[in-house]
Chain A
Amino acid sequence: MAKTYDYLFKLLLIGDSGVGKTCILFRFSEDAFNTTFISTIGIDFKIRTIDLDGKKIKLQIWDTAGQERFRTITTAYYRGAMGIMLVYDITNEKSFENIKNWIRNIEENASADVEKMLLGNKCELEEKRQVSKERGEQLAIEYGIKFIETSAKASIRVEEAFFTLARDIKAKMEKKLEASNPPRGGHQIRASEPQKKPTSWLSRCTIL
């Protein structure tokens, strides 16, 4: 039987309220944009399967469910995440400054080798820009992560961002699989194991 995908990656969107996390999610998963998605009510995660170098990669992208608003993101949100999009709004200085706090939050809660990427969203609003592209680049260099300016509204480079992150995770994972066989520690293995039907949990069970 043909499998529908080779890898499953859990990705997270993190950043202040109103920077456009949900819009980015919808742009990427449905190619849609809707300004009424100001708050993230009812949205848990979205799925899109992409092709990368002949492999089908299922991206499961989780939204914060509004819990970023009062900094009450559950620790469980970070569990098992392989990639994190750190999003700020180029028209909102504060959202950019808060990125360092979010990074600290990630360091405390997510797995140490999680792949991160910095997104400056709303780049179509050039006239309202408060954060220069150079500053975004500089911050990304500081943390040793990649940086892209996107626009969910105008559909600029959103695809590119997710493909880049997915490619980096895939590369890291394949390298790891090669290097250490068998890998230690249970929870990193998960993504490389094609998920079975939820009904067939064995000793380690997850209903996704």
Chain B
Amino acid sequence: MDYEFPKEFDLIVVGTGVVESILSAAASRVGKRVLQIDENDYYGGQWASFSLESIIKSKHHKKDYGGNESETNLLRFGNDLVSLKNIAHKFHMTSNNTLEEETDKIENEEQPKENKWTEENLLKLSRKFNIDLYPKLQYARGDFVELLISSNIARYCEYRSVSRILIWFNNRLESLPCSRSDVFANTKVSVVEKRMLMKLLTSLNDKEKHVQNYENKTFKEFLTDKKLTPNLIHYVLYGISSSSDDTSCEDGIEKARRFLNSLGRFGNTPFLFSLYGSGEIPQAFCRLSAVFGGTFALGQQIQGFSISDDKFKSVTLQSQTVEAEKLVLNIENLPARFIKSDKLEYISRCILITDRSVLDSEKEHLSLIFYPPTDGKSFTTVIEMGFLTGTCPNNLYLVHLIAKQNTSPQEDFQHVIDKLFASHVEETSQEKPSILWSYYFSMPETNDIILSDDLPNNIFVCPGPEIDLDYDTSVDKAKLLFEKMYPDLEFLPRAPDPEEIIIGDDNEEEESTDINEEDHDKVINVEQEDKENVISAEQEDKVNVISAEQEDKVDQQ
């Protein structure tokens, strides 16, 4: 296109996933000049959320990477290794055009009769879906939530707490007793067991003491030695610590503690979810980065980047070369020659649209379901989202399944799907939800990927989503990378916030104005420091000349 970026930045970020967006925000926040670009015309990469139509159309992988070096000695971004694989989607009901009347009804009342869903009327509601490629929850007291609060990024999103946690046990779904009141209200647990469980949960706080004799043992062995009943072992092992049979004692205790520590902060469960989907999270960090001067461009054609003297030098876009001191990029965008691992672990994913909840209840709109490992199948995490999560239309449910891959997504989840859902619309049972649409794929697990030693030391590589329920691993990774990049600078200090100061106290009208002024000054300072980053009016004029084609592209996001 005709517009031009400044020729030089402190940092170029390629990709808009969670980790690289955190780094972009952190760098902009401390006054670095940041350019963040993405070849996709939407934010988030493997962390994005899509409408129903766009997830079906989206390819999630780029063109061939044959011949990494072009004539100009540019290294091309991207590799064949790290991309979504085995993508398969399907509507599970007959496509039927004669139901026009019904469709109109849905538009008006959103109250279709059961079993009347068709491919057409689901697609009509396409934009009411925000389908996460990788849904994430947040521990109410986890590092991620603390970071959102301490950096003031929390204001860019809204949250819902997970409203209930269920666990598959004795061939049925049961509520997981996790808080004190849950434990006591639970009718499935005997009084003796209640006491046992409370004692264990309280005692888990003293981790050191427990781990001493269990260094090479599993959490399951630990629980068995504690003489817990099979019921309780099931609840604690697969529920509270969401562990498997082979989880080490140390990890199991750590996971259980995180769960227990996050109880009672917001809502009945330890988890929060970002309203409108997990795709909002990377965008929140991008917004902060932009507020502090970061330049953003999506849908960019990137030719490649150049290295000289073992250092990253510049990125060449469609018609312009932009230099920077450092390059941050997502693993998806890393050329294959810098990846040492030749085989990757995968996460099996399945996304379903269903017509009712797995366990009907008036007020439950966001359920986390633990499905323990059975017969060689991996532990499966299921997240069911209702209308109030902002991710699907009224009267429908969006169900996400996540498991470590054994064979293929279809095979890995078949047993769970058989138990929880009716397999065909026709064969509706009174209790089980029908599957209206399914989407299967394999997500590469890139957190432990080994990078080659000749990666220039001013290039920083960010992993994609990993199997954990939450973002804490990603935050740790971002912090670690930031420390390497800018060892002397603070990581995401609190951003000034006029709103927060005015809200809250009831008698603050006057004093808040003063604090406001102060914030205002801070803001201005940042602006002056970043003067060079200001794109001149002349360049802005050029920006206006974006062709209709380009707009269409961006508009689709």
Among candidates A79, A205, A207, residue contacting B276 with C-beta atoms closer than 8 Å: A79
Task: Find out whether the CB atom of B543 lies under 8 angstroms from the CB atom of A70.
Answer: yes
Inter-chain contacts of B544 with A (CB < 8 A): 16-18, 92, 94-95, 98
User: Given contacts A47-B499, A75-B280, A207-B154, are A18 and B149 in contact (CB under 8 A)?
Assistant: no
Among candidates B293, B394, B504, B554, residue contacting A198 with C-beta atoms closer than 8 Å: B504
Inter-chain contacts of B156 with A (CB < 8 A): 76
Mask, A195-208, CB within 8 Å of B = 1, is 10110011111111
Contacting residues of chain A (21-36) with chain B, CB-CB under 8 angstroms: 30
Tell me how many residues of A have a C-beta within 8 Å of chain B: 55
Q: What distance in Å separates the Cβ of A127 from its nearest Cβ neighbour in chain B?
A: 18
Task: Find out whether the CB atom of B290 lies under 8 angstroms from the CB atom of A205.
Answer: no
Tell me how many residues of B have a C-beta within 8 Å of chain A: 73
Contacting residues of chain A (44-78) with chain B, CB-CB under 8 angstroms: 44-47, 58, 60, 65-67, 69-72, 74-77
Inter-chain contacts of B97 with A (CB < 8 A): none
Task: Find out whether the CB atom of B291 lies under 8 angstroms from the CB atom of A207.
Answer: no
Among candidates B272, B387, B506, B516, residue contacting A205 with C-beta atoms closer than 8 Å: B272
Q: Tell me whether A1 is interfacial, beta carbon within 8 Å.
A: yes
Among candidates B267, B503, B537, B543, residue contacting A208 with C-beta atoms closer than 8 Å: B503
Cα–Cα distance between A97 and B140 once the two chains are bound (Å): 46
Q: Report the nearest A residue to B289, measured CB to CB.
A: A65
Inter-chain contacts of B541 with A (CB < 8 A): 18
Task: Find out whether the CB atom of A207 lies under 8 angstroms from the CB atom of B155.
Answer: yes
Inter-chain contacts of A60 with B (CB < 8 A): 499
Task: Find out whether the CB atom of B284 lies under 8 angstroms from the CB atom of A76.
Answer: yes
Cα–Cα distance between A195 and B556 once the two chains are bound (Å): 33
Cα–Cα distance between A94 and B394 once the two chains are bound (Å): 40
Q: Report the nearest A residue to B286, measured CB to CB.
A: A74
Task: Find out whether the CB atom of B540 lies under 8 angstroms from the CB atom of A17.
Answer: yes
Q: Report the nearest A residue to B509, measured CB to CB.
A: A4
Cα–Cα distance between A45 and B537 once the two chains are bound (Å): 22
User: Given contacts A16-B544, A74-B287, A205-B158, are A104 and B390 in contact (CB under 8 A)?
Assistant: no
Task: Find out whether the CB atom of A41 lies under 8 angstroms from the CB atom of B293.
Answer: yes
Q: Tell me whether B508 is interfacial, beta carbon within 8 Å.
A: yes
Inter-chain contacts of A69 with B (CB < 8 A): 295-296, 535, 540, 543
Mask, A72-93, CB within 8 Å of B = 1, is 1011110110000000000010
Interface of A is mostly: loop
User: Given contacts A80-B158, A205-B158, are A72 and B499 in contact (CB under 8 A)?
Assistant: no
Task: Find out whether the CB atom of A42 lies under 8 angstroms from the CB atom of B292.
Answer: yes
Task: Find out whether the CB atom of A202 lies under 8 angstroms from the CB atom of B502.
Answer: no
Task: Find out whether the CB atom of A76 lies under 8 angstroms from the CB atom of B160.
Answer: no
Inter-chain contacts of B155 with A (CB < 8 A): 206-208
Q: What distance in Å separates the Cβ of B547 from its nearest Cβ neighbour in chain A?
A: 11
Q: Tell me whether A38 is interfacial, beta carbon within 8 Å.
A: yes
Q: Report the nearest B residue to A194, measured CB to CB.
A: B503
Q: What distance in Å separates the Cβ of B140 from its nearest Cβ neighbour in chain A?
A: 9
User: Given contacts A70-B297, A76-B284, A79-B276, are A44 and B291 in contact (CB under 8 A)?
Assistant: yes
Q: Tell me whether A135 is interfacial, beta carbon within 8 Å.
A: no
Task: Find out whether the CB atom of B290 lies under 8 angstroms from the CB atom of A70.
Answer: no
Mask, B482-519, CB within 8 Å of A = 1, is 00000000000001011110111010110000001000
Inter-chain contacts of B148 with A (CB < 8 A): 207
Q: Tell me whether B120 is interfacial, beta carbon within 8 Å.
A: no
Inter-chain contacts of B388 with A (CB < 8 A): 185-186
Q: Tell me whether A101 is interfacial, beta carbon within 8 Å.
A: yes
Inter-chain contacts of A66 with B (CB < 8 A): 290, 293, 295-296
Q: Report the nearest A residue to B36, measured CB to CB.
A: A72
Inter-chain contacts of B161 with A (CB < 8 A): 203-205
Q: What distance in Å separates the Cβ of A80 from its nearest Cβ neighbour in chain B?
A: 7
Contacting residues of chain B (133-167) with chain A, CB-CB under 8 angstroms: 148-149, 154-161, 163
Cα–Cα distance between A186 and B290 once the two chains are bound (Å): 29
Cα–Cα distance between A80 and B508 once the two chains are bound (Å): 26
Among candidates A2, A94, A203, residue contacting B163 with C-beta atoms closer than 8 Å: A203
Mask, B254-297, CB within 8 Å of A = 1, is 00000000000011100010011001100110110011110111
Q: What distance in Å separates the Cβ of A71 from its nearest Cβ neighbour in chain B?
A: 4
Q: Tell me whether A108 is interfacial, beta carbon within 8 Å.
A: yes
Q: What distance in Å separates the Cβ of B77 from its nearest Cβ neighbour in chain A?
A: 18
Task: Find out whether the CB atom of A74 lies under 8 angstroms from the CB atom of B159.
Answer: no
User: Given contacts A72-B298, A206-B158, are A18 and B537 in contact (CB under 8 A)?
Assistant: yes
Task: Find out whether the CB atom of A42 lies under 8 angstroms from the CB atom of B527.
Answer: yes
Q: Tell me whether A175 is interfacial, beta carbon within 8 Å.
A: no
Inter-chain contacts of A45 with B (CB < 8 A): 498-499
Q: Tell me whether B460 is interfacial, beta carbon within 8 Å.
A: no
Q: Tell me whether B362 is interfacial, beta carbon within 8 Å.
A: no
Task: Find out whether the CB atom of A207 lies under 8 angstroms from the CB atom of B283.
Answer: no
Inter-chain contacts of B284 with A (CB < 8 A): 74, 76
Task: Find out whether the CB atom of B154 lies under 8 angstroms from the CB atom of A108.
Answer: no
Among candidates A70, A75, A186, A203, residue contacting B3 with C-beta atoms closer than 8 Å: A70
Task: Find out whether the CB atom of A108 lies under 8 angstroms from the CB atom of B291.
Answer: no
Among candidates A70, A76, A206, residue contacting B280 with C-beta atoms closer than 8 Å: A76
Task: Find out whether the CB atom of A18 lies under 8 angstroms from the CB atom of B267.
Answer: no
Inter-chain contacts of A205 with B (CB < 8 A): 158-161, 266, 272
Q: Tell me whether A155 is interfacial, beta carbon within 8 Å.
A: no
Task: Find out whether the CB atom of A65 lies under 8 angstroms from the CB atom of B290.
Answer: yes
Q: Tell me whether B524 is interfacial, beta carbon within 8 Å.
A: yes
Cα–Cα distance between A94 and B545 once the two chains are bound (Å): 8
Task: Find out whether the CB atom of A47 lies under 8 angstroms from the CB atom of B158.
Answer: no
Contacting residues of chain A (160-207) with chain B, CB-CB under 8 angstroms: 184-187, 195, 197-198, 201-207
Inter-chain contacts of A30 with B (CB < 8 A): 520
Inter-chain contacts of B543 with A (CB < 8 A): 16-17, 69-70
Task: Find out whether the CB atom of B158 lies under 8 angstroms from the CB atom of A204.
Answer: yes
A-B contact pairs, 15 of them (CB 8 A): A4-B509, A16-B544, A18-B541, A38-B537, A41-B526, A41-B534, A46-B498, A66-B296, A75-B280, A76-B283, A79-B280, A95-B544, A203-B163, A203-B267, A204-B158
Closest 9 CB pairs of A and B: A74-B283, A65-B290, A42-B523, A71-B554, A207-B154, A72-B296, A70-B297, A17-B540, A42-B526
Residue ranges of A at the interface with B (Cβ–Cβ < 8 Å): 1-4, 16-18, 30, 38-39, 41-47, 58, 60, 65-67, 69-72, 74-77, 79-80, 92, 94-95, 98, 101, 104-105, 108, 184-187, 195, 197-198, 201-208
Q: A39-B535, A42-B530 are known contacts; what are 11 more A-B pairs with Cβ within 8 Å?
A: A17-B544, A42-B291, A44-B291, A69-B543, A95-B544, A98-B544, A198-B504, A203-B267, A204-B159, A204-B275, A205-B158
